[in-house]
């Protein structure tokens, strides 16, 4: 028991030292990169204002072509390095199990979420549709809806409501993000509906098993 506690204490102390070291190292490296970026920016600005004959030029109207290519590449490299440091620091804080204060600071809106364990009963497609229709109020946009009518956009709406135009259609499937449905095998389910509405011009060829083919 004593040996286990000793080993656990050594491992915990090592983790604390490791976490503090990397956090301090990342902050120092970030400060150094920001200092180099400011120096490069001031040097490029000074060189862009002074021409070869020593005449002071106005900084207005200067573009990136006035700055040497090597300095532009240095600024881009500096920005990339600073971005990587920010990501590593965020990853370090997110994986920290000791400094809980930093974890609470990331929740700026103080959201308290408690996951509830609930058993979802198995329901058929028709039962889910009926339950959705009874609980969710779905209203279609039409010409009389504000602010479209006041702004003069009512002329772009159909003369007849959508439900009156497609009276023979009973069901509709809306595919908003085809990428998230990869390997979902929902192609037959989607094509079983009377109308299929797709967003983002996502391709269907070659992915019929997941997103269907009807549009």
Q: CA dist 138 to 132, 133, 135, 147, Å? A: 10, 8, 10, 19
Secondary structure E strands in 32-127 = none
Counting Cα atoms < 13 Å in the Cβ hemisphere of 138 gives: 10
Per the CB < 8 A criterion, the answer to whether 199 and 176 are in contact is yes
Q: Residue 35: its pLDDT value, please?
A: 64
Q: How far apart are CA 183 and CA 146, in angstroms?
A: 41
pLDDT of residue 60: 44
Q: pLDDT tens per residue, the chain (215 residues)?
A: 677 778 877 787 787 776 767 667 766 766 676 666 665 555 555 554 544 444 444 444 444 456 677 777 788 888 888 888 777 777 776 666 555 454 455 666 777 877 777 777 788 878 887 888 888 887 778 888 888 888 888 888 888 777 777 777 778 888 877 777 888 888 898 899 888 888 877 778 888 888 888 87
Measured CA to CA, the distance from residue 199 to residue 181 in angstroms comes to: 13
The overall pTM is greater than 0.75: no
Quote the CA–CA distance of 215 and 213 in Å, as a whole number: 7
Estimate the share of the chain in helix, then strand, then coil, as percent rounded to the nearest 5. Answer: 55, 5, 40
**Token pair 């959201």: residue:** 111
Specify whether the CB–CB gap between 171 and 155 falls below 8 A: no
């Amino acid at each position: 028991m004593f040996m286990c506690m000793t080993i656990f204490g050594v491992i915990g102390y090592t983790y604390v030292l490791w976490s503090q070291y990397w956090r301090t190292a990342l902050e120092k490296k970030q400060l150094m990169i920001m200092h180099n970026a400011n120096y490069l920016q001031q040097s490029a600005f000074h060189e862009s204002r002074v021409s070869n004959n020593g005449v002071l030029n106005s900084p207005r109207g200067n573009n990136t072509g006035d700055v040497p290519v090597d300095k532009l590449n240095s600024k881009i490299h500096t920005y990339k390095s600073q971005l990587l440091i920010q990501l590593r620091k965020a990853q370090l804080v997110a994986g920290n199990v000791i400094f809980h204060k930093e974890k609470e600071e990331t929740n700026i809106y103080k959201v308290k979420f408690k996951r509830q364990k609930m058993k979802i009963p198995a329901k058929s497609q028709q039962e889910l549709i009926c339950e959705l229709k009874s609980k969710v109020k779905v209203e279609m946009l039409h010409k009389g809806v504000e602010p479209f009518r006041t702004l003069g956009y009512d002329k772009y709406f159909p003369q007849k409501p959508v439900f009156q135009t497609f009276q023979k259609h009973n069901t509709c499937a809306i595919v908003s993000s085809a990428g998230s449905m990869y390997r979902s095998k929902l192609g037959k389910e989607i094509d079983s509906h009377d109308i299929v509405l797709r967003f983002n011009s996502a391709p269907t060829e070659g992915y019929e098993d997941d997103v269907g083919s009807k549009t």
